[in-house]
Each structure stands twice: as C-alpha cells, then as structure tokens.
Structure 1
Amino acid sequence: MTVRNFVPILLLIAAPLLAQAPAVSSLSNQDFGFTYHLPAGWDPIDTQATLPEVKKRQMETAKTEDEKKEIACVQIPISARRGAPPSFLAAMALPFDCFGQIMTEKDLPGFAEGSSEGPRAIFDFADPVYGSYSMGSHHIWIERAKGNPKGHPEMPYTLEIACSLLKKAAVCWMTVAGDDQSLKEFEGGAITLDGDFFPELVPATAFEKKPAS
C-alpha cells in the first residue's frame, strides 16, 4: 500500500497559507490518537477554508478509487507558521475508520516514501537522509533534505517529515523550515501518541546509523 496523495495535498494547501494571516485553529486532536504541542512563537493557521477546494482539485486527477478515498479522508489537524522567510509545519492524518483499511508496520515504508514526494513539486531538494527511531511502541520513519523553492536558490530551506502508524490513523508531521531555529523547534515539540507522552517529536539520535545486528 502506498499513499501518494498525503503530503501533496498538504503542500498545495501550504503554499498559499504561508502568505496568509494567522487564524485560530485546533492544535490538538485526540480523534487521531495524538497531541502535538505547538512550539511557542508559531502562529496557527486554519486550513479548513481551503481544504475542500484542494481536495476537489485532487479528486479531478485521481486515477483510482483508492486515491479518491485517500483524498476524501485525509485531515489536517495542525498547521502553523513562523518568521520571515516563513517556516511552515503541519500534521496530516489518514483515519483508518474513514479509509476502510488499517495499515500495519509493513505498510509504513511505502506510506512514508509516498508522503515525501509532494514537496518536490514546489521545492528543489537534494541529498536526502533517512532515519528511524522508536517512541514507546511506535516506529517512526523520518527524512530530511536541504533545498530551496523552485526558482529561488537564494532561499535555503530544510524539509523534514516524520511518519508513524497510530491505533486510529496514519500520521505525518512535516516542516519546511527556513532557518535552523524553526527546524529545532519543530523537532522539540512535545507529543502524545496513543496516550503516551514524549518530550520531543524528533530525538537527537534520529538520524544516527544503527549498528548491524
């Protein structure tokens, strides 16, 4: 199973939102089994006004019924921005009860790799690095890459995506960070996964090579 529309939807929404004024938005959503604590200084963005139109455009190009189901079911419970040039972070969830399937650990690589394709439509990234780590019983897949918006090599950005499977949903947390501080704050956001609290989303060891067993 691969979920190719997950982050493409996010990026289609993210581009116009980077220029939008902040708006009140729900920052926690236990409906999907997690709570991410937004770092101080990040301004929430309300995606609900633009999400239906983005989903409609994606539906028009969907090739299969599964793709249409993915688009219809995907939700964005968290989105925010900070600074200038603006950095963006968001969480996207694909609820299993809506999608009609429950993913397993063997589905995570394909799901995560599909999720990382979307940013390439808007940014040029190079030399991605990958990692994995555990938070309690949850396995996390993570990718980081350096790049810039297409046509703007003078604007360095860092893409980072962390994905996992919770009891109720598949979830990706993503940032397109315009500076090191934004990346650090995204990684340092406290998170609760299926009721278990962790002080940071991405530990410092996330990209360390694991010794061969």
Structure 2
Amino acid sequence: MTVRYFLALFLLIAAPSLAQTPAVSSPSTEDLGFAYRIPAGWDAIDAQSTLPEVKKRQMETAKTDDEKKEIACVQIPISARHGAPPSFLAAMALPFDCFGQIMTEKDLPGFAEGSSEGPRAIFDFGDPVYGTYSMGSHKMWIERAKGNPKGHPEMPYTLEIACSLLKKSAVCWMTVASDDQALKEFEGTAVTLDGDFFTELVPATAFDKKPTS
C-alpha cells in the first residue's frame, strides 16, 4: 500500500457524499504524537464511516502480510472539506504499536512516495515536484503536483502531501486544493510534532533546492 493510493481511494469513495455529511469534531491525535487543527472555515467530515470500505478494497489487492497489517492499522483521524468546487484535506497515521515495528528515516520515502496510480484514478496530474525540509528534529518529505479531475480540465487542483516519522507513528498530511487560498490554509496551519510546536505545517522554503556539498 502507498499513502497516496490510500488517501486517493478515500476521496474517491467519500467525495460523492461529503456535501451531505454533517460536521463532526476532529478526534484527538495526541496518542499518535501530533496535533493539527482543521483550518477555520473548513468543515470536518466523518472519515470513520468511510474507512471500513476503503480498507476492504485495499485488502482485496494486498500482496503481503505486512501490507495487510498496514491497511488494518492505518487511521484517518482528521479529514475536512471547504468551498465550491470543494477542497479536501486529511491526515493519515500508521501507529507503530499496532503495526508491530518502528519505521526509520530510510523507510520514509517508500512509505510516503509509492506509485501515482491512486491519484491518477481520479485526477490528471502533471509531473510532481518533491522536496524535504526539517521541523526541529523531524525530517519532512513533501510532494506537490498540479492537475484536474478527469474530464474536467477547467477545474485546476493541487495535490500536496507532507509526511514525517514521529515517536509513535508515521503521519502524512494531504490536501487536494481547488485554489491557492485552500492550499495556503493547509500549509499555514500550526502543527505539534512529539510535543514541539511549529507555526506552520509547510514553510515557504519547502521546495527550495538544497545546496550540494
């Protein structure tokens, strides 16, 4: 399983009913090692009612026991929508105590990057751009791609996903933003990682090229 595929499938299943989904309170993420509040003006949506169907579809194509365990353990504690056409955001976490092993920094790109099959089932995206940055002791991996829903070239969207390894879990935050303001709100929301507070999830320098030594 890849994070992008899982979250894209979540959006594929959830999107048709999100407009009718009542707002819900964002569940606590303290046990996972982070805090991220939904931006003001965004409506929380109930990912838990969608998650079982997503996991069922993923289990049907899982090829290894580790993949099945990852699917069984993954959580989407935060999900929200905003505007029309709608923008979406979600946070996905893999708790290490459930998964049975702790990921290391070398595992981060594989956990986060994976293939592009999931998003491309819903959107036509151009070439993605990748970057890395640090938030205190945490290394962040990030990807951004421009595109549009299939069959709707008049509707520009931006996919952005940022991932990190915490003490208790691996976590990815993702948005599919319909405009620059939604993307800015996703990036500019404060986040706490293992007790360390940061004023924004994604700094303006996240995609700056790092100097080579």
- Secondary structure of 1:48 counterpart: helix
CA distance in 1, matches of 2:117, 2:196: 29
Percentage of identical aligned residues: 81
**What's the secondary structure of 1:54's corresponding residue?**
helix
Name the stretch that deviates more: 47-56 or 199-208: 47-56
Do residues 9 (structure 1) and 6 (structure 2) align? yes
- Within 5 Å, which residues of 2 pair with 1:44-83? 44-83=44-83
Residue correspondence of structure 1 range 1-213 to structure 2 within 5 A:
4-18=1-15, 19-20=17-18, 21-114=21-114, 118-213=118-213
Deviation at 1:6, TM superposition (A): 2.8
Aligned-pair CA distance for 1:117: 5.0
User: Any idea what the Cα deviations from partners look like across 1:54-82, whole Å, max 9, x if unmatched?
Assistant: 21121112111111111100000100000
1:63 and 1:102, CA in 2 relative to 1: closer, same or farther beyond 3 A? same
Alpha-carbon shift at residue 167 of structure 1 (Å)? 0.4
Task: Say if 2:90 and 2:173, in contact at 8 Å, map to a contact too.
Answer: yes
1:5–1:67 Cα contact (<8 Å) kept: no
Change (3 A) 1:28 1:51: same
Deviation at 1:38, TM superposition (A): 1.3
Q: Is the 8 A contact 1:142 1:160 kept in 2?
A: yes
1:6–1:74 Cα contact (<8 Å) kept? no
| SS of residue paired to 1:23 | coil
Write the letter of the residue equivalent to 1:180.
D
Code of the residue aligned with 2:6 in structure 1: it is I
**Which amino acid in the other structure matches residue 26 of structure 1?**
S
d(CA) in 2 for partners of 1:169, 1:115: 21
Residue 211 of structure 1 aligns to which amino acid in structure 2? P
Distance 2:96 2:117 in 1: 22
Aligned residues: 210
After superposing the two structures, state which structure 1 stretch, 128-137 or 108-117, moved more.
Answer: 108-117
CA separation of 1:210 and 1:5: change in aligned 2, threshold 3 A: closer
SS in 1 for 2:31: helix
Cα deviation, residue 172, structure 1: 0.4
Secondary structure (helix, strand or coil) at the match of 2:127 reads strand
Measure, in 2, the Cα distance between the counterparts of 1:78 and 1:35.
Answer: 10
Q: Residue 157 of structure 1 aligns to which amino acid in structure 2? A: Y
Decide whether the 8 Å contact of 2:142 with 2:160 is kept in 1.
Answer: yes
| Contact 2:5-2:117 at 8 Å conserved across structures | yes
Deviation larger for 49-58 or 69-78: 49-58
1:108-151 Cα deviation digits (max 9, x unpaired): 11112127653222111112111110000000000111001112
The aligned amino acid for 1:189 is T
TM-score (norm 2): 0.93
- CA root-mean-square deviation: 1.5
Structure 1, unaligned runs of 5 or more: none
- Structure 1: which amino acid aligns with 2:59? M
